[in-house]
Amino acid sequence: MYPQPSRPENVYPMPGSLRRKARLVDLPLISAVPAGKVATIFHPDYADSYVTVDDVKDPGAFALKVKGNSMSPRIEDGDVVIVSPQAEARSGDICVVRVNGEDTLKKVKFEGTYIHLVPLNPDFEPVTVKKKDINFVWKVVKLIKEL
């Protein structure tokens, strides 16, 4: 009844052998994490809503909305990060870090008994803290950009 849609000449169909099924999961968007000054905002016991993502294997993973611009231009205010408490954080990873009960989103660098919290935005200064003052370091495994 309806005409077949025409395909532009420069668009080729994908062979069936290259297709794969992605396992989608709904993760709780539990709160916000500051990407600026550290603050107590992150509340893991309350889910605001849910986001659907693929390829996240950690059953404890969750989503956080970013507040602030210390990680700009890569991660900006309003973006959503998917955090995996199970994933091992290494130097160079972007992580959610709790320092003395306050949370922040930063690139981490491990050095002896210290952890350097490095913003990507040059307008912000890096912070160095002792490992003993860290409550947790949870790796960001996915980024959902705000459109």
Joined tokens for residue 38: 């550290």
Joined tokens for residue 64: 């956080």
Q: Single out the residue of 72, 74, 76, 81 nearest to residue 123, CA to CA.
A: 72
Spatial distance between the Cα atoms of 98 and 137, rounded to a whole number of angstroms: 7
Joined tokens for residue 40: 């107590």
Q: Which of 65, 72, 84, 106 is catalytic?
A: 106
> Contact at 8 Å (CB) between 77 and 60?
no
Spatial distance between the Cα atoms of 74 and 86, rounded to a whole number of angstroms: 23
91 as an active site residue: the answer is: no
106 as an active site residue: the answer is: yes
Q: Which of 31, 70, 72, 84 is catalytic?
A: 70
Catalytic residues: 70, 106
